[in-house]
Amino acid sequence: SEGKRRAGFLRGASVPLSAMLKRVLIANRGEIALRVRRACREAGIETVSVYSQADAEALHVQLATRSVCIGPPRAADSYLNSQALLSAAIATGCDGLHPGYGFLSENPEFADACAENGITFIGPSGDAIRKAGSKSAARDLMRAAGVPVTPGSDGPVSSVEDALAVAETVGYPVLLKASAGGGGRGIRRCDSSKDLPDAYAAAKAEANACFGNDEMYLEKLVLEPRHIEFQILADRQGHVIHLGDRDCSIQRRNQKLIEEAPARCLTPELREEMGRAAVKAAQAVHYEGAGTVEFLLDSDGQHFYFMEMNTRIQVEHGVTEMITGVDLVRQQLRIASGLPLDLTQEDVTLTGHAIECRINAEDPTANFRPCPGKVEFLHFPGGPGVRVDSALYNGCTLSPYYDSLAAKVMVHAPTRLEAIRRMRRCLEEFTLEGFPTNAELSYELLFHPTFVRGGCTTAFLDRSLPELLEFSRRVDDHKG
């Protein structure tokens, strides 16, 4: 077929440098800034890093060929300052800008502003971000495209009374969710009508503070679901493929803690059906670049529902790279340069099993209180099938101004059980002195029978937390 000829030609030949972007501003910080820099470096693309005053000694700045200070420590004055980022890109002659994840990565106005200033935004267009990024609008698009969605409001709910009426129709429990939300923020559960007014006000306030947009929608809460997401790639020529699935069901407060790929709970037939739905979802918004379509799989393991679409590279993209051998950031750079995908759906093969543990600077015994501080001693695990993405180094300080992510520890092995054993070994080697992390909690979780059997739902961690914390107090016995 034409697709296979195209893919075979492009994969076998090196892409001429003249076809790629020349210089990219990396509009982010930390480990994702390093990840993007590495991909650009290998593709022969120059980079410019940015930093706030708090990040002057950060690793992504120390390794940069060129860097620009964009403002004071607060994210609102630096990494969320679109004008400062655009000015830096223009002043340094960048023809591309990679937003990473978080900050302005899903801001349609920022994507538009890049285009208006002749800078290629390495991601979808502002219009596609609006369609997919507004959770309520995306639900309507998915219905029209034939992608299953959970029962809920048709568009945003404009008042408490509106929300109460929808909740009465679909039945409790329900979720109030920010239309522009992400990262587990702007979400509140309501089990009855008496809970809803306060939850509505709290969710709107959090959404406005985090996203500058307090629009809300409502959907029925699917009890005991699994959180399954599909990685997609789409080029400007209209080709869309998926690169398999990830199970992100281990989460607390809607924040993912452990991700793995592929999902053990999916049959080949269900994986194929959900993959087709993910492709249809991307086509519905005329998507371009790398993105993720997220689904809820109900407790019977047969019915799935569209939850949301993330219009950016995901924190957990590495596990997909490990099982497919596809460099997703390199693909983003190719697509943004106007090149077609260099692989077809038939070329995508899922090999082995990969697991990621997010190591955060937080104290699980103190309600997961963030605990940034100075790194007194640091040692990362290694060996076959091991990858660690982090911006930490001995003597550095994890800033209190930003996300508490300290490191992403990833493993790959032929089978899921071997991957679990490899991750256990890695967390035994992982050493970070200077502040608390959730590493011991993750280690204990890897021994829990429910996790080993692959039976965890999104409710698992909250329900099992007391038991896991008790085990983690005896972690030295396990390690011995």
From its phi and psi, is residue 21 left (phi > 0), alpha (psi between -120 and 50) or beta? beta
Q: Report the distance separating Cα 218 and Cα 171, nearest Å.
A: 11
Alpha helix segments (H runs only) across 117-158: 126-133, 135-145
pLDDT at residue 473, as a whole number: 64
State pTM to two decimals.
0.88
pLDDT at residue 138, as a whole number: 85
pLDDT at residue 274, as a whole number: 98
- Kindly provide the residue ranges of all beta strands, DSSP E only, lying in 303-443, ordered along the sequence: 304-310, 353-360, 362-363, 369-370, 377-379, 386-389, 405-413, 431-433
Given 130, 139, 246, 312, which residue is catalytic? 312
**Tens of pLDDT along 241-256?**
999 999 999 998 888 9
Instruction: Give the count of alpha carbons within 13 A of 448, CB side only.
Output: 24
The radius of gyration computed from the CA coordinates of the chain, to the nearest angstrom, equals 22
Q: Which residues contact 71 (CB under 8 A, 6 or more apart)?
A: 52, 53, 77, 78, 81, 84
Query: Catalytic residue at 312?
Result: yes
pLDDT at residue 181, as a whole number: 72
- Sites in the chain below the pLDDT cut of 50: 1-13, 476, 478-480
